[in-house]
Structure 1
Amino acid sequence: MIVVTRPSPEGEILTQRLIQANLPAMHLPFFNISIGDGLLHLQTELNQLTPLDIVIVVSPQVSHIIKTNLPNLLFPAHISYFAIGYKSAELFKQLSQKNVSYPKQENSEGLLQLLDLQPVKNRTILILRGDFGRQLLTEELTQKGAKVRLLQCYRRKAIHYPANILNDYINKQIIVITSVEHLLQLDVYCHIEHKQHAYLMVTSLRIFAKATQLQWQKVLLVDNANNQTLFEALIALSHQPTTNLKN
């Protein structure tokens, strides 16, 4: 069983693709997404940015929540827009009608490398994010002299499941984790047998390091968090003899 923990709608889309490929999969999101405390101040924050300033979009949820709650938001043309990955960039481009750059390595580390190509010192960087996460971006950009501002566009609220929801067929599980926060929530439902026998597919070195710290034994790192990369990696893994999910 492939367990996809990423939020809706991306998690549901990936799960459906896996099912269409005749692989057993279920969507098990760990958080509900709701409007963040800073969202209603977004227009004011955008209006205060000056030429050479930067906006960073950390996830597809940013665009989803803006589209639902601020359909008439105006995006300045004189600033630069970046996103963590392709999906985040594509959704924000559709929303803003502006060019949005994103790194080939679709995570915080990749975006920092992309931003190394231009000076950020003394530039204001507005990071559109959830209620936590992306500390690496904030710390690294601040060290480079940028004036980083964080805006909470959405909030996460943990979804509670039965404690034994992942107890069946542990040795045939592949669990997809796309953030450290999801990994920590996974710990609520897992025990030592999971960490010894289930496969964990993660999307960044930071998640990989944390999973190792939490004593997961079978951790697989993929380059990007986009659904296509995850789909291809899951197809390849699921057809290996040791992880054949159909047996």
Structure 2
Amino acid sequence: MNILITRPSPYGEQLVNKLLSFGIFAYHLPLIYFSAGKTLSSLEQQLNLLSKGDFLCIVSQHAIKYAHRQLLNVGISWPTKLSYYAIGYTTSIKMYKLSGILVKYPIGQASSENLLRLPELMYSDGKRALILRGNNGRTILDDTLEKRGVLVSSCECYRRQLLQYNGEEESHKLLELNITTVVVTSGEILKQLYYLVPQFYRTSWLIQCKLVVVSPRLAKLAKYLGWKNIIIAQSAHNDVLTHVLIKNS
């Protein structure tokens, strides 16, 4: 089984090295990279609007990375009076390592839907919430909390930028590498890969590959695009992905 890893750097390289250590060939083709978000400079001001017990919701570890760097730059710490929530285990651990703050997260699949099932967020009328996110993200967290009576604001901590490739050349390279399994961790990356590969290779090779994704929502999109052999990992954590790939090799 030769595997294509599409995770952004540095997580993509780390996953490739982990798989190689198990004797599994993997090739890294990142399709996006990250940069600072447009409203990151307003983070301190937005945090100051929150009161004791208000919510701070974190949608990814990338949001934490850029937000924490911004607070360090302006010389302030994360407020301890807030209730912190993360979309999944990986994001929660990232926040704890950087700040020492314990962050609640849903057990099981890392998703906005699961996060919204936490009892504290179910009955939240009158609270404020600040959501740390990237650009062009889903708004189900914002929309649902607003319906529950929460005053919601968000901070674009990071931006996803597309990397440009020659689709014909990359397809030839991947075929020569005999890639038969593809790992994708977001809908944006999946669509970028799908439309990068020319139609002939898309139908004759790409959608015939085994596809590993990290949520039922992403699996649904992949099925719509034509994939049939789809495996759902419980999270985008590299240890989880490695276990799934070894198990299905």
TM-score computed with the length of structure 1 as normaliser? 0.88
Unaligned runs of 5+ in 2: none
Map Cα deviations across residues 178-236 of structure 1 (whole Å, 9 max, x no partner).
11111111112231123541111111111111111112222211222222211100111
Instruction: State which of 158, 173, 181 in structure 2 corresponds to 1:174.
Output: 181
| Separation in 1, partners of 2:207, 2:148 | 40
> One-letter code of the match for 2:98?
L
Instruction: State which of 219, 227, 234 in structure 1 corresponds to 2:238.
Output: 227
Instruction: State which of 89, 92, 95 in structure 1 corresponds to 2:95.
Output: 92
Q: CA deviation at 1:42?
A: 0.5
- Provide the aligned length of Structure 1 versus Structure 2: 238
Instruction: State which of 112, 116, 119 in structure 2 corresponds to 1:112.
Output: 116
Instruction: Give the structure 1 partner of residue 61 of structure 2.
Output: 60
Instruction: Give the structure 2 partner of residue 121 of structure 1.
Output: 125
For the 8 Å contact 2:5–2:183, the answer to whether it is kept is yes
| Separation in 2, partners of 1:236, 1:91 | 26
The 1:200–1:43 alpha-carbon spacing in structure 2 relative to 1, beyond 3 Å, is: same
> One-letter code of the match for 2:211?
L
Sequence identity percentage: 34
| Separation in 2, partners of 1:147, 1:119 | 13
| Separation in 1, partners of 2:151, 2:195 | 37
For the 8 Å contact 1:171–1:198, the answer to whether it is kept is no
Is 1:185 equivalent to 2:192 in the alignment? yes
For the 8 Å contact 1:36–1:130, the answer to whether it is kept is yes
Q: CA deviation at 1:128?
A: 0.5
> One-letter code of the match for 2:102?
N
The 1:59–1:199 alpha-carbon spacing in structure 2 relative to 1, beyond 3 Å, is: same
The 1:135–1:119 alpha-carbon spacing in structure 2 relative to 1, beyond 3 Å, is: same
For the 8 Å contact 2:71–2:77, the answer to whether it is kept is no
User: Which aligned pairs between 1:200-219 and structure 2 lie closer than 5 A?
Assistant: 200-219=211-230
> One-letter code of the match for 1:61?
H
User: Which aligned pairs between 1:127-146 and structure 2 lie closer than 5 A?
Assistant: 127-146=131-150
For the 8 Å contact 1:203–1:222, the answer to whether it is kept is yes
Q: Which has the higher helix share?
A: 2
| Separation in 2, partners of 1:228, 1:27 | 17
Q: Which moved more, 1:213-222 or 1:135-144?
A: 135-144
| Separation in 1, partners of 2:226, 2:120 | 34
> One-letter code of the match for 1:221?
I
For the 8 Å contact 2:33–2:161, the answer to whether it is kept is yes
Unaligned runs of 5+ in 1: 239-247
TM-score computed with the length of structure 2 as normaliser? 0.87
> One-letter code of the match for 2:115?
L
CA RMSD of aligned residues (A): 2.0
Instruction: State which of 68, 81, 86 in structure 2 corresponds to 1:83.
Output: 86
| Separation in 1, partners of 2:120, 2:180 | 39
For the 8 Å contact 1:170–1:197, the answer to whether it is kept is no
Instruction: Give the structure 2 partner of residue 152 of structure 1.
Output: 156
Map Cα deviations across residues 107-150 of structure 1 (whole Å, 9 max, x no partner).
22221222566522222121111111132222222222222212
